[in-house]
Structure 1
Amino acid sequence: MLVVGEDVSIKQLTVDDDVKNHWAIGIFNRLDSVTRLPRSSERGDCFDESQVGIKAILKEQGFKIILQLAFENEPDRSFNVGFHLRARDHRARIVCKIKDRTGPNQYFCLPLNMLEIDREGSCLRLCRRRNSNTELVLWARIPFTSMECMVLTFCTFLALRSEDGGRPVDDIRDYELDGEEELYGG
């Protein structure tokens, strides 16, 4: 397990041959510094119906996990975020797993091209569009304790979504810097 923040780690995965050379697999291995973010009072969560059997469905459809972030900031609950890829068409899925000491694991999954991403404080928010694409509805919230881990996750999400061979995303708003000051651009 590679620790990339105060309470965020990357789970080392056994990767199948068809995705073993994907760029996202080692992206978090190169973190040299950690810029602390204020701890959020919000916890990692998903705001959808849990999907029983989603791991088997993804496997059956040819998806392979390429990256899994583990957020271990609560003693009786953990929150994991995994990126899954199907090599033949670069379709990408995100799976959130909530492991609660008192109940069964809960899994939530969506294609990346159905989500938009933005930042609120030290959390990344994944949102779905609703009402003819006029309203964003929170699907998942991911808390971070380091700026570098947050930025890498944000960029990984955008890149995987851009490579997705399925329906392209229209009118993307997650590239905008609402209330942010751009210090460097290339």
Structure 2
Amino acid sequence: MRTSIALILALLSPVNAWSQLSNSPIPDFTATVLTGEKVSAAQLIGQPTILIVTPSTDAANSTRLWVEALRKNIDQTQVRIRDVLAIDLPFFMSEEDAIGRAKEKIPARYQDQTWVLNESSLEDALNIPRNSAKAFVFVLDAKGAVIARVEGEPDDTKVLEVEKAVRSTE
């Protein structure tokens, strides 16, 4: 009986949910670049990509740390880096308001690489808890398949895991 319960719990765990997602294409979504253009998941096809998902304002610090670590350790001619601000906007705030606030915080040279997403489909599909205080980093191959996932603030082990995943796409 204990073995059955342990097996059921293991099957329901987030790790298992993630392993089923691994190597599946990134789910379709539409977002707005801070520079104003609309983009979709299709823009992530064709070149390996590191996608940083920021599910809350509390996750902004870990996103900032990831961006700094990745720009130091990843050859951006081989892989593109994009940040998705997954915002669950309150009814009184428009997407334009959110973009305006983000533009105040993000240097102009990175605004074309930062997308605002006002829907939860990406978070649901990638098993990201809404309002998480952690950033989530995904490595996608050129076909848009998720080949690695790390979360939280970067450390040597996590950065190495991302670097290894990027190298596997070459």
TM-score (norm 2): 0.28
Higher relative contact order (CA 8 A, sep 6+): 2
TM-score (norm 1): 0.27
More helix per residue: 2
